[in-house]
A and B are shown apart, each in its own frame.
Chain A
Amino acid sequence: MDPASLGLKCGLEIHQQLDTHKLFCEDPSDRSEGVVAEFRRRLRPTQSELGEVDAAVMEEAKRKLAFVYQATGNACLVEADEEPPHPCNEDALDTVLLAAMMLNATIVEEIHFMRKIVIDGSNTTGFQRSALVAVDGSFELDGKRYGVPTILLEEDAARKIEERDGDIVYRLDRLGVPLIEVATTPDITSPDDAAKVALRIGSLLRATRRVKRGIGTIREDVNVSVARGARTETKGVQDLRMMATFVEKEASRQTALADCTDELRKRGITAIDDGIVDLTDLVREAKSSVLRNAIAAGGTVLGVRLPGFRGLLRGKLGPELAAHARVAGVGGILHSDELPGHGITEEEVQRIAQRMAVEGHDGFALVADAETRGREALEEVVERARAALAGVTAETRDPRPDGTTVYSRPLPGRARMYPETDVPPIRVTRERLDRLRAILPEMPETRLKRIVTAYTIPRQQATQLLEDGLDGEFESIVKETGEAQVTANALTYQFSEIRREGLDVDALPLERLRELFRLYHRGAFAKEAIPQVLRHMVRESTDASAAVTALGLGTMRDADVDAVLDEIVAAHEAMIRERGEAALGPLMGVAMERLRGKVDGRVLNEKLRKRLAAR
């Protein structure tokens, strides 16, 4: 893919949780598994005098969902929407003001909280409280300037746990956690730059030392368009390492859909009828379990003709039509590009096509469900298919773990914002800004230079420490122990490896990390044991000394080490005779297996070498 020729434009909105109590009450902002109560509510679109309702809000309302909320120990009446919000958390605002200064932004004189209507249930109120704190910021990266038009302070949404019998279950532990949102101008022109910009803003925010770390504490909304496409916003990308993939796949998707539109035009398609046809009698005998189950449950099989769509459905428009059908509550659709298949025979396809007058380039879509729901689903399908005649649609999309995305709802308009009258506006005083200016953190590039010089670690490692937001931890540990290289290796290479195993090593508190390196520095265990100890600390959420004890680590007396090595050498007599000094490698492997973490690898190597040389 050549991003330049596609006219790729990308902008990011970075949401980072702040490390303070909640934004509008005094509850701590930790994750919590202890559910103390459950309640079930509905949300409805609100009316204006003109009966105007925001498009995104209206579509959520169509889903007519009910929500179950699980209250946790860190959720009070405020999160339950049973008590008005308390005044804004001033520490959280200070953090956003610091970030705004670091981004050279203009700070708003009087900050007003707004209610941003969101009725997907993720906010018990049906709106997210959000305030514009600063405008017109910017930063430079690789010699290019990126604008930051807005910096917001807002509350995080509730955490979705599961879907249960048509209800969406949310947990209130995350609701109300303060977030900073930094939005960039759409000046990013390649997938790789998107990843770099995200990392850059991430390290800038972490430089404030007042943000949370670990999985789920930073989330990005990714706005992408190509010249022949339209702006889409993928909400809540959590893994920064996937950023480039998301941008690339979205650009490809838009290009493929633009090609579809061109092809539909070439085929002379200008309109799509809503003629929904009942096909139940044709497929009563079908082997397809989807169809059979729906019919058995009293449902019907409905179809609609999609003129000119043949060959444009599979992997292109098909997933889009299906996602729109799901808005009406059906599980999905079957389309002509995937039939015969799914237990539907060629003959059945022929009969269906005949009934719907499908010919030539035409395609069709089927839904098997309760009749009303099925009809609503196909109406959504037709509406989406018509939009494809005009081109790529602007919309909000949800990220999937493989870097692809799926339609979620229309882009919201500004109709959904109104003032949060329960929270008083905040005047940003000169005194406050002066106080914050005095504690403004070091900018990442200054810090990078200083760390490289002061601790003599490779620049690449220092860069990674900053990007991962572990530079503060690094300095704190090394000031205490002087173990710069060992600490740098652990926090970069070993952390990466542990992350890849799916362990949330970033959630380890600094105090525990400091203890770990203190123990190492005192010789409580060998450096090879560090990854093992880290893994144990994450898995068992325990401190370093407990991990060391549980793993049976602890350095051995020299005589005991010698005894084990003599035993190993004796057991491998034959191999040593055969290979001579080349036996060192395999012997080292055996020795490490028995003594890892108890003896430094270098010491073992030296002792074994001596033994081989002596023979």
Chain B
Amino acid sequence: MAEYPARVKDALAAAGASVGDRVRVAGARAYEGVVMPHTEFSGADILVVKLDNGYNVGIPVAQITAIELREKKRAAAIARGLPPPTPGKPTIGVLGTGGTIASFVDYRTGAVHPAATAEELVFSVPELLDVANVRARMIYSVYSENLAPKNWEVLAAEAAKELQAGAEAVIIPHGTDTLHYTSAALAFMLRDLTGPVILVGSQRSSDRPSSDAAFNLICAARLAGENLGEVVSCMHHETGDTACDVLRATKVRKMHSSRRDAFKPINAKRLGTVHADGRVTWEESATPRSKGPVRVEEGLDPDVALVYFHPGLTPKRFEGITHGCHGVVIAGTGLGHVSDDLMPVIRKTAADGVTVLMTTQCLNGRVGLRVYDKGRDLLAAGVVPGEDMLPEVALVKLMWVLARTKDPVEIRELLATNLAGEINPAITLDEYVF
């Protein structure tokens, strides 16, 4: 919610009025209504007023002869507390991170804002309380693209704390854009999980009647009753509200910019399905609950870069991006290729002791550095093949590995080891999303 530019702000201040107050705006045509917050796309000289018929209109300051304050904004909403736990329902720890999954409409101004407290978070999807006892905490209130590796470490610690405190499951409502980075990071850091840690996003915010947030969250809550001890995502299986896919944290990727069913398993099958009627069916064998205690293997080296190769990428730009890094993940073309131009700089990077990990921008399939000369040259240069790891997952894994060891042999060994389901040694014909 942006502030009004100076001209409008001054006019409002002169009248002693602010957002949410009822005013009468005199001019060529008088309008009476509630002062709305400024929006970015509105003109710098425009005051927005919500009329009694519910519509907003923009009025240029130049046309206003007077603003008369009619009524101050009423006191803020009374905070509602969460109800006491109901026996027989599972307890779920909800860790809020922000993003569009939880947002509210202020019916007085009609403005939408994200949930700021844990209670608001739960009440934006009150249906959740029908399924489980909810303990909610707000960890962050940011859009997901602003979450950095250090935030992933905090989330891992908080998730472990919830499970240790007896929660049957942990749900992390999360913005969708970087959800698959966070899920991978948690998967590498959390060990011996006594229950599932479930990342849930929504592509239509919860202030809308058509929001997918409620369905996704309720489906996620159903997993509290399952024998599941790993980090997963749980979101729409298709465009309709029929089922949610339970996907492994290291094999999931956002594959559509806007559809509800954006999250797909890559080089893997879905683990299971939560159906609209509440049934859960399993297609793959997921990791069962551990007896605990939950361990957190924290520590991520943030000095790792992900470079998307493209024709025309110059050695200079490559160097610019990778300068000072301890590790570099390349999303190469096809089986894992880059142009001849880049070979010297890659050789030099690897020779300097920087780990260079090759993945494919095809996403589907495995890199194959033994098929063409280019691949063999890359191997000779010291590039590590990233198997069928998604570039983003490879990035997170390399951060985690580099925080554990700087020994080149150990690094190679860890990268080649399947630590959290990130490597599928045998991709089957049905494991292909297109």
A residues at B contact (CB < 8 Å): 39-52, 57, 66, 77, 80-84, 106, 108-112, 114-117, 119, 124-127, 130-132, 135-136, 150, 152, 414-419, 421, 424-425, 427
Return the contact of B54 from the options A46, A109, A114 (Cβ within 8 A).
A114
Interface pairs (9), CB distance under 8 Å: A40-B242, A41-B241, A44-B211, A49-B76, A50-B107, A109-B46, A110-B42, A110-B43, A418-B107
Return the contact of A110 from the options B50, B57, B242, B260 (Cβ within 8 A).
B57
Q: Please measure, in the bound complex, the distance between the C-alpha atom of A40 and the C-alpha atom of B107, giving whole angstroms.
A: 29
Q: Please measure, in the bound complex, the distance between the C-alpha atom of A109 and the C-alpha atom of B46, giving whole angstroms.
A: 9
> Given the complex, which residues of A lie within 8 Å of B210, measured CB to CB?
41, 43, 81, 124-126
Q: Which of A115, A125, A131, A417 has the most CB of B within 10 A?
A: A417
A283 to chain B, nearest CB (A): 34
A109 to chain B, nearest CB (A): 5
Given contacts A414-B54, A425-B58, contact A136 B29 (CB under 8 A): yes
B288 at the interface (CB under 8 A from A): no
Q: Please measure, in the bound complex, the distance between the C-alpha atom of A141 and the C-alpha atom of B412, giving whole angstroms.
A: 86
Contact B54 A416 (CB under 8 A): yes
B208 at the interface (CB under 8 A from A): yes
> Given the complex, which residues of A lie within 8 Å of B206, measured CB to CB?
46-47
> Given the complex, which residues of A lie within 8 Å of B260, measured CB to CB?
82
Q: Please measure, in the bound complex, the distance between the C-alpha atom of A136 and the C-alpha atom of B238, giving whole angstroms.
A: 47
Return the contact of B39 from the options A52, A114, A419 (Cβ within 8 A).
A419
> Given the complex, which residues of B lie within 8 Å of A117, measured CB to CB?
209
Return the contact of A49 from the options B50, B52, B120 (Cβ within 8 A).
B120
Q: Please measure, in the bound complex, the distance between the C-alpha atom of A112 and the C-alpha atom of B211, giving whole angstroms.
A: 22
Contact A419 B112 (CB under 8 A): yes
B99 to chain A, nearest CB (A): 15
B residues at A contact (CB < 8 Å): 28-29, 36, 39, 41-43, 46, 48, 50-60, 63, 76-78, 80, 104-107, 110-112, 120, 123-124, 126-127, 203-204, 206-211, 214-215, 238-242, 258-260
Q: Please measure, in the bound complex, the distance between the C-alpha atom of A416 and the C-alpha atom of B78, giving whole angstroms.
A: 21
> Given the complex, which residues of A lie within 8 Å of B123, measured CB to CB?
47, 51
Given contacts A49-B104, A114-B110, A421-B112, contact A44 B209 (CB under 8 A): yes
Contact A81 B204 (CB under 8 A): yes
Known: A46-B211, A130-B55. 8 other contacts (CB 8 A): A47-B126, A49-B106, A50-B77, A82-B260, A112-B42, A419-B112, A425-B41, A425-B46
Return the contact of A418 from the options B112, B239, B241 (Cβ within 8 A).
B112
Contact A39 B238 (CB under 8 A): yes
B28 to chain A, nearest CB (A): 8
B404 to chain A, nearest CB (A): 41
Q: Please measure, in the bound complex, the distance between the C-alpha atom of A50 and the C-alpha atom of B78, giving whole angstroms.
A: 7
Contact B209 A43 (CB under 8 A): yes
Contact B55 A47 (CB under 8 A): no
Q: Please measure, in the bound complex, the distance between the C-alpha atom of A52 and the C-alpha atom of B124, giving whole angstroms.
A: 12
Q: How many A-B residue pairs have CB under 8 A?
A: 151
> Given the complex, which residues of B lie within 8 Å of A109, measured CB to CB?
46, 57-60, 63
Q: Please measure, in the bound complex, the distance between the C-alpha atom of A45 and the C-alpha atom of B123, giving whole angstroms.
A: 12
B430 to chain A, nearest CB (A): 22
B87 to chain A, nearest CB (A): 24
> Given the complex, which residues of A lie within 8 Å of B203, measured CB to CB?
82
Contact B53 A125 (CB under 8 A): no
Contact B53 A116 (CB under 8 A): no
Q: Please measure, in the bound complex, the distance between the C-alpha atom of A542 and the C-alpha atom of B42, giving whole angstroms.
A: 49
Instruction: Return the chain A residue nearest B210 by Cβ.
Output: A126
B348 to chain A, nearest CB (A): 44
Return the contact of B258 from the options A44, A84, A116 (Cβ within 8 A).
A84
> Given the complex, which residues of B lie within 8 Å of A127, measured CB to CB?
208-209
> Given the complex, which residues of B lie within 8 Å of A49, measured CB to CB?
76-77, 104, 106, 120
Q: Which of A47, A415, A416 has the most CB of B within 10 A?
A: A47
Given contacts A41-B210, A419-B56, contact A83 B258 (CB under 8 A): yes
Contact A419 B110 (CB under 8 A): yes
Return the contact of A150 from the options B53, B107, B124 (Cβ within 8 A).
B53
Instruction: Return the chain B residue nearest A118 by Cβ.
Output: B209
> Given the complex, which residues of B lie within 8 Å of A77, measured CB to CB?
258-259
Contact B43 A46 (CB under 8 A): no
> Given the complex, which residues of B lie within 8 Å of A135, measured CB to CB?
29
Q: Please measure, in the bound complex, the distance between the C-alpha atom of A248 and the C-alpha atom of B112, giving whole angstroms.
A: 43
Q: Please measure, in the bound complex, the distance between the C-alpha atom of A108 and the C-alpha atom of B126, giving whole angstroms.
A: 38
Q: Please measure, in the bound complex, the distance between the C-alpha atom of A523 and the C-alpha atom of B128, giving whole angstroms.
A: 75
Return the contact of B209 from the options A39, A126, A132, A415 (Cβ within 8 A).
A126
Contact B239 A119 (CB under 8 A): no
> Given the complex, which residues of A lie within 8 Å of B127, measured CB to CB?
44
Contact B104 A48 (CB under 8 A): yes
Q: Which of A52, A135, A415, A419 has the most CB of B within 10 A?
A: A419
Q: Please measure, in the bound complex, the distance between the C-alpha atom of A124 and the C-alpha atom of B59, giving whole angstroms.
A: 31
Q: Please measure, in the bound complex, the distance between the C-alpha atom of A111 and the C-alpha atom of B39, giving whole angstroms.
A: 13
B55 to chain A, nearest CB (A): 4
> Given the complex, which residues of A lie within 8 Å of B48, measured CB to CB?
110, 112, 425
A60 to chain B, nearest CB (A): 9
